[in-house]
Amino acid sequence: MPEQSVKRVRVVISGRVQGVWFRGWTVDEATARGLSGWVRNCRDGTVEAVLEGVPEAVDAMVEACRTGPPAARVHHVEPFAHDDPVAPGFHSRPTA
Protein backbone atom coordinates (compact mmCIF):
# COMPACT_ATOMS: atom_id res chain seq x y z
CA MET A 1 0.00 0.00 0.00
CA PRO A 2 1.57 3.36 -0.94
CA GLU A 3 2.42 5.41 2.14
CA GLN A 4 0.24 8.38 1.12
CA SER A 5 -2.88 6.19 1.00
CA VAL A 6 -2.44 4.97 4.58
CA LYS A 7 -4.17 6.52 7.58
CA ARG A 8 -3.23 5.65 11.16
CA VAL A 9 -5.13 6.62 14.27
CA ARG A 10 -5.14 5.63 17.91
CA VAL A 11 -8.57 5.62 19.50
CA VAL A 12 -9.53 5.47 23.16
CA ILE A 13 -13.06 4.20 23.77
CA SER A 14 -14.77 4.79 27.10
CA GLY A 15 -18.02 3.59 28.63
CA ARG A 16 -19.11 0.01 29.29
CA VAL A 17 -16.49 -1.43 26.97
CA GLN A 18 -14.74 -4.14 28.99
CA GLY A 19 -16.27 -7.56 29.59
CA VAL A 20 -18.62 -7.10 26.62
CA TRP A 21 -16.47 -8.69 23.85
CA PHE A 22 -15.28 -5.30 22.57
CA ARG A 23 -11.77 -6.53 21.76
CA GLY A 24 -12.98 -9.60 19.85
CA TRP A 25 -15.55 -7.52 18.01
CA THR A 26 -12.86 -4.97 17.10
CA VAL A 27 -10.55 -7.68 15.73
CA ASP A 28 -13.40 -9.08 13.59
CA GLU A 29 -14.58 -5.68 12.34
CA ALA A 30 -11.10 -4.32 11.62
CA THR A 31 -10.06 -7.52 9.83
CA ALA A 32 -13.22 -7.40 7.69
CA ARG A 33 -12.28 -3.83 6.70
CA GLY A 34 -8.74 -4.86 5.76
CA LEU A 35 -7.14 -2.88 8.58
CA SER A 36 -3.92 -3.55 10.45
CA GLY A 37 -3.29 -2.69 14.07
CA TRP A 38 -4.25 -3.83 17.53
CA VAL A 39 -6.73 -3.44 20.38
CA ARG A 40 -6.35 -3.85 24.15
CA ASN A 41 -8.11 -3.20 27.43
CA CYS A 42 -6.56 -0.53 29.63
CA ARG A 43 -6.41 -0.63 33.41
CA ASP A 44 -8.53 2.54 33.62
CA GLY A 45 -11.52 0.72 32.09
CA THR A 46 -11.12 2.07 28.55
CA VAL A 47 -10.29 0.20 25.37
CA GLU A 48 -7.43 1.45 23.19
CA ALA A 49 -6.91 0.58 19.52
CA VAL A 50 -4.54 1.54 16.74
CA LEU A 51 -6.08 1.37 13.27
CA GLU A 52 -4.12 1.51 10.01
CA GLY A 53 -5.40 1.26 6.45
CA VAL A 54 -7.06 3.17 3.66
CA PRO A 55 -8.61 6.38 5.04
CA GLU A 56 -12.21 5.39 4.27
CA ALA A 57 -11.87 2.06 6.09
CA VAL A 58 -10.19 3.67 9.11
CA ASP A 59 -12.90 6.34 9.30
CA ALA A 60 -15.62 3.67 9.05
CA MET A 61 -14.02 1.67 11.86
CA VAL A 62 -13.78 4.73 14.12
CA GLU A 63 -17.50 5.32 13.50
CA ALA A 64 -18.28 1.65 14.22
CA CYS A 65 -16.44 1.96 17.55
CA ARG A 66 -18.98 4.61 18.57
CA THR A 67 -21.52 1.77 18.85
CA GLY A 68 -19.38 -1.35 19.39
CA PRO A 69 -20.78 -4.83 20.01
CA PRO A 70 -24.38 -5.25 21.24
CA ALA A 71 -23.56 -5.42 24.99
CA ALA A 72 -21.31 -2.32 24.92
CA ARG A 73 -22.45 1.15 25.97
CA VAL A 74 -19.96 3.55 24.40
CA HIS A 75 -19.83 7.00 25.97
CA HIS A 76 -16.91 8.51 24.08
CA VAL A 77 -14.47 7.71 21.27
CA GLU A 78 -11.37 9.92 21.19
CA PRO A 79 -9.19 9.61 18.06
CA PHE A 80 -5.55 10.72 18.07
CA ALA A 81 -2.99 10.93 15.26
CA HIS A 82 -0.62 7.95 15.29
CA ASP A 83 2.60 8.09 13.28
CA ASP A 84 4.21 4.72 14.01
CA PRO A 85 3.52 2.01 11.40
CA VAL A 86 2.05 -1.25 12.66
CA ALA A 87 2.64 -4.86 11.67
CA PRO A 88 0.28 -6.37 9.08
CA GLY A 89 -2.90 -7.97 10.43
CA PHE A 90 -5.10 -7.01 13.34
CA HIS A 91 -4.52 -8.44 16.82
CA SER A 92 -5.71 -8.28 20.41
CA ARG A 93 -3.02 -7.31 22.93
CA PRO A 94 -2.85 -7.94 26.68
CA THR A 95 -4.22 -5.36 29.09
CA ALA A 96 -1.91 -2.39 29.63
Q: Is 23 annotated as catalytic? A: yes
Of the residues 23, 33, 43, 66, only one is catalytic, namely 23
Instruction: Give the pLDDT band of residue 16 (cuts 50, 70, 90).
Output: very high
pLDDT number for residue 1? 46
What is the per-residue pLDDT across 55-81, written as a single tens digit (0 to 9) for each? 999 999 999 999 999 999 999 999 999
Indicate if 8 belongs to the active site.
no
Domain ranges of the chain: 16-79
CATH architecture of the region 16-79: 2-Layer Sandwich (3.30)
Catalytic residue among 16, 40, 41, 43: 41
Those residues whose C-beta lies under 8 Å from the C-beta of residue 8, and which sit 6 or more positions away, are 37, 50, 51, 52, 58, 81, 82, 83, 84, 85, 86
